[in-house]
Structure 1
Amino acid sequence: MPEIEIYTKDYCPYCKMAKAILQRKGAAFLEHSVSDNPELFDTMVRRAQGRRSVPQSFIGGVGIGGADELSLLQERGQLDLILQGERSTLDTDEPCFRCLVQ
């Protein structure tokens, strides 16, 4: 399974939802709380290509997005493929998945 990182804030319901999606998959992830850490927040914004909202998740170093994107990937059955490292199976015509194509 590729490395999973998620940037969160302590009080964020969307962060809790994103973490719950990954936990239901049995996916281990490294959580970075940006609640009181401006330097870490700046790192997240840089990695997320300017996106400032939390959560921001990265799987295998690739920016996935937030809870909505994770939920949509889950609904489409694509999250399992990403977690297995099979990103090439994604529908690249979907705007929210363009960041996955390298």
Structure 2
Amino acid sequence: MQTVKIYTTGTCPYCIHAKQLLKERGVTELDEIRVDMVPGERQKMMEITGRRTVPQIFIGDLHVGGCDDLVALDDRGNLLSLLNTSSRG
């Protein structure tokens, strides 16, 4: 299974929903980066993604986007196959 990295805050309902969906799809470990607790992480996230909102989700080295993007990916039936592709280095 691909590594999943997610930038979050502690009280964001979209972050909670995204993490629940990932768990439902079999993700047991998340590399969760709390931008509200770690100085500089929001700025780093913004530089990488061009976005300032959370969550920002990466599956492997692919930036999926936010919660709505993750849900849309799942609705199209593409989330599981993306999660289960072999790592790209």
Which TM-score applies when normalising by structure 1? Answer: 0.78
Does 2:84 match 1:76? no
The one-letter code matched in structure 2 to 1:21 is L
Is the counterpart of residue 40 in structure 1 residue 32 in structure 2? no
Q: How does 1:91-102 map to 2 (within 5 A)?
A: none
What is the count of residue pairs matched by the alignment?
85
- Structure 1 gaps of 5+ residues are 87-102
Dislocated runs of 4+, deviation >3 Å? none
28-37 or 18-27, which deviates more: 28-37
**Secondary structure, aligned partner of 1:35:** coil
Superposition TM-score, scaled by structure 2 size: 0.88
Q: Secondary structure at the match of 1:32?
A: strand
Q: With CA pairs under 8 Å and 6+ residues apart, which has the higher RCO, 1 or 2?
A: 2
1:59-70 aligned at under 5 Å gives the runs: 59-70=59-70
Q: Matched residues, percent identical?
A: 40
> Which whole-Å CA distance do the structure 2 matches of 1:52 and 1:63 have between them?
14
Determine whether 1:29 maps to 2:36: no
